[in-house]
């Protein structure tokens, strides 16, 4: 399927391994990425805090660009960042709710010939995996099941709250999708207190101790629940959980050593990509538990390219 692809800012800044891993995984899932390279930052809630209309106009512009790509054959818009999803969903809710407000935003967009039409479908990569590709299909693509890998999900606030805006329903229990994906990839889901809590990143410059206490606490809870690693669909959570982990360790006063994977990296590992291709070497916390595990399995699994056998299930 073809998607209008919004990569966000951080995946092209401090988490380049995220952008890279999406590019590596997409062809394996038969996703064609039409990158929205003229679109700009969603505001991550901060621009909305400054001026709601400004955030809504910038996001309306991105939606309008995506709708141009959709008119040219893309099925929907896809993002790879919980925070982008949340900020965009918030703007979309207001734009879709009120015709006069939408008209005003469109008036600002008009000089460039852009218009946002109510009702764009904008999905995070996680939602796309479950709702568009499907868990069965995903399982069938697994070349290297994540057997014995204990993975703690970490969603990020913006993709699970508020439930009505985010579209969490009986039909689409989106607040459980990470667990479903981990299972579909053959891994073991670790339940721990912090899976749906806040990583603390938004206040890192304003209330540094409180921010690092949050990430440190969740990482510690996951370690206590015996997780090998965490997986997150949010690069901002990744910054506080991985990049800042050495500082979080100091604040909570315990070693953590908890690797944190981006969702496309976890999918890529199961689909047979090498840790290096997925940028796992670029993390601040070395994903030793994960890499050791994949190396072991890779060593024990016949290479499908070389001798034509199917590797799926062989790692069990």
Partner 1 sequence: MAETRKPAQDFTLRIRRYDPESGEAPYWDEHTINLEPHRSVLEGILQARGRFDGSIGIRCSCKAAICGSCGVRVNGQPGLACHTHLDAALKASRDGVIEIEPMGNMPIIKDLIVDMDAVHWKKIARVTPWLLSQDPLPEREHIVPREAMVDVTQSMACIQCGACVSDCLSMEVDPLFIGPAALAKAYRFVGDPRDSQQFERLKDLAEDPHGMYDCTHCFKCIEACPKGVAPMNQIMRLRRRAGSDHQIKDRNNGFNHEHAFVKNIRRNGLLHENDLLADSFGGKANPKSAAFLARSLPVITRALLRRKATLKVALGHPHKAPADVKRIFETVEGRDQRNELNLYIEGYDEDDSGAAEPNVAAVAGGGQDGQSMASAPGASPKGTV
Edge-first strand listing for the sheet containing 229-232? 188-189, 150-153, 229-232, 260-262
How many whole angstroms separate alpha carbon 152 and alpha carbon 227? Answer: 6
> Minimum distance from CB of 164 to partner 1 (Å)?
6
Tell me the longest C-alpha to C-alpha distance in the chain.
Answer: 63
- The interface with partner 1 within residues 23-62 (CB under 8 A) comprises 38, 40-41, 43-54, 56-58, 61
Angle between helices 52-71 and 82-97 (to 10 degrees): 90
Q: Which of 30, 32, 72, 112 binds partner 1 (CB under 8 A)?
A: 112
- The interface with partner 1 within residues 252-291 (CB under 8 A) comprises 281-284
Q: How buried is 35 (Cβ within 10 angstroms: 0-12 exposed, 13-18 middle, 19+ buried)? A: middle
- The interface region with partner 1, picked from 98-106, 224-232, 254-262, 308-316 by CB under 8 A, is 98-106
> Minimum distance from CB of 152 to partner 1 (Å)?
17
> Minimum distance from CB of 314 to partner 1 (Å)?
31
- The interface with partner 1 within residues 63-92 (CB under 8 A) comprises 86, 90
How many whole angstroms separate alpha carbon 37 and alpha carbon 141? Answer: 29
257: three-class secondary structure by DSSP: coil
- The interface region with partner 1, picked from 21-29, 137-145, 155-163, 301-309 by CB under 8 A, is 155-163
How many positions of this chain bind partner 1 (CB under 8 A)? 76
Residue 92 or 294 having the CB closest to partner 1: 92
Q: Which of 3, 4, 10, 230 binds partner 1 (CB under 8 A)?
A: 10
For partner 1, what does the binding mask look like between residues 122 and 151, x meaning CB under 8 A? Answer: ------------------------------
- Residue 141, number of CB atoms within 10 A of its CB: 18
- The interface with partner 1 within residues 196-215 (CB under 8 A) comprises 197-198, 200-203, 205-211, 213-214
- The interface with partner 1 within residues 208-247 (CB under 8 A) comprises 208-211, 213-214, 217, 243-244, 246-247
Residue 100 or 305 having the CB closest to partner 1: 100
172 binds partner 1 (CB under 8 A): no
Scanning the chain, the segments in alpha helix (DSSP H) are 16-25, 46-50, 52-71, 82-97, 99-109, 125-127, 135-141, 163-166, 177-184, 208-224, 235-238, 245-252, 263-270, 288-300, 304-307
């Amino acid at each position: 399927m073809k998607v209008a692809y919004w990569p966000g800012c951080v995946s092209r800044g401090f988490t380049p391994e995220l952008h890279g891993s999406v590019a590596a995984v997409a062809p394996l899932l038969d996703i064609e990425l039409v990158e929205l390279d003229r679109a700009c930052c969603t505001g991550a809630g901060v621009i909305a805090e400054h001026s709601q209309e400004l955030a809504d106009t910038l996001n309306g512009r991105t939606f309008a660009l995506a709708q141009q790509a959709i008119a040219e054959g893309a099925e929907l818009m896809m993002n790879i960042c919980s925070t982008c999803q949340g900020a965009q969903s918030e703007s979309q809710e207001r734009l879709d709710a009120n015709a006069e407000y939408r008209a005003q935003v469109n008036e600002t967009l008009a000089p460039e010939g852009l218009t946002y039409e109510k009702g764009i479908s904008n999905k995070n990569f996680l939602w796309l995996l479950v709702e568009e590709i499907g868990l069965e299909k995903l399982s069938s693509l697994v070349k290297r099941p994540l057997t014995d890998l204990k993975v703690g999900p970490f969603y990020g606030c913006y993709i699970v709250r508020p439930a009505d805006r985010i579209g969490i329903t009986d039909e689409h229990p989106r607040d459980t999708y990470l667990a479903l994906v981990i299972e579909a990839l053959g891994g073991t889901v670790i339940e721990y207190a912090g899976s749906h809590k806040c990583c603390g990143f938004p206040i890192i410059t304003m209330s540094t101790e409180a921010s690092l206490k949050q990430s440190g606490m969740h990482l510690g809870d996951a370690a206590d629940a015996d997780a090998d690693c965490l997986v997150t669909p949010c690069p901002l959570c990744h910054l506080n959980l991985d990049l800042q982990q050495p500082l979080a360790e100091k604040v909570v006063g315990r070693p953590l050593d908890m690797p944190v994977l981006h969702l496309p990296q976890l999918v890529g590992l199961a689909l047979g990509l090498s840790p290096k291709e997925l940028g796992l070497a670029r993390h601040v916390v070395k994903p030793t538990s994960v890499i050791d595990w994949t190396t072991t399995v890779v060593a024990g699994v016949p290479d499908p390219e070389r001798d034509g056998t199917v590797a799926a299930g062989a790692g069990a």
